[in-house]
Amino acid sequence: MEPLKPFSASLVPLPIENIDTDQIIPARYLKVTDKNSLAEGCFTDWRQDPDFVLNNPRYQNGHILVAGHNFGCGSSREHAPWALKAYGFRAVISTYFADIFRNNSLKNGLLPIVVDAETHQALLDLAEEAPEAEIHIDLASQTVTLPNGQKASFPIDPFSKTCLLEGIDELGYLMKQTPEIEAFEVSHPARVQTLQS
């Protein structure tokens, strides 16, 4: 995975709470066997509505989604962050994320950024007033900076942060645990015979 560098981008406001992964990518798009062909399915049903924000020319250049509370709930489909990335999003900002979506996003370099309600509102206001305005996201210092200089910090677990900043892939990391895994299997023989009976 590519190391994640600081970046600036403008916003797309979608302040609806509990946006589930069936909206982000409906199930009928899940018959693919790859990750890259999902842009078309991203929010596709909502995009049928001409007034939907992704159809609004003001937000055509936005690469950061500002979404409502509990974004990404529902299905565990990793197709959701794949679709968001394929569509061009680099980060999603919300006040809260569903667990599995957050995990899946971190593994794909799509930053799930949790901010407090006040910052969230400030970002929505900014998107409304100045759609072209860019905010700056710096993972190393865990800060979001608005054009007026206002800063907000966001939490991230130290392990995911290191992985993203250094481009470490988790599978490679886990493979290095092989001696420990072997030792565990030897000391827990009952665990490794599930289907052998």
Residues of the shown chain interacting with other proteins in the complex, contacts defined by CB under 8 A: 15-18, 20, 22-23, 26-28, 30-35, 45, 68-70, 73-79, 96, 98-100, 103-104, 107-108, 157-159, 162, 170-171, 173-175, 177-178, 180-181, 184-185, 188, 191-192, 194-197
Between 55 and 70, CB nearer to other proteins: 70
Closer to other proteins at the Cβ: 21 or 134?
A: 21
Q: How far is the CB of 136 from other proteins (least distance, A)?
A: 25
Which amino acid makes up residue 28? R
Nearest CA to 77 out of 98, 62, 47 is that of 98
Distance CA 79, CA 84 (A): 8
Please, is 38 exposed, middle or buried when counting C-beta atoms within 10 Å of its C-beta (0-12, 13-18, 19+)?
Answer: buried
- How far is it, in rounded angstroms, from Cα 26 to Cα 125? 29
Alpha-carbon gap, residue 171 to 107, rounded angstroms? 10
Q: Which alpha helices (H) appear in 62-177, and where do they start and end? A: 79-87, 99-106, 117-129, 158-166, 170-175
Q: Least distance to other proteins from the beta carbon of 111, Å?
A: 16
Q: Which is nearer to other proteins, 101 or 134 (CB)?
A: 101
Residue 114 Cβ vs other proteins, minimum distance, rounded to whole Å:
11
* Inter-residue contact 185 to 192 (CB < 8 Å): yes
Nearer to other proteins, 52 or 60 (CB): 52
Decide whether 100 or 146 has the Cβ nearer to other proteins.
100
How near is the Cβ of 129 to other proteins at its closest, in Å? 18
Q: How far is the CB of 57 from other proteins (least distance, A)?
A: 23
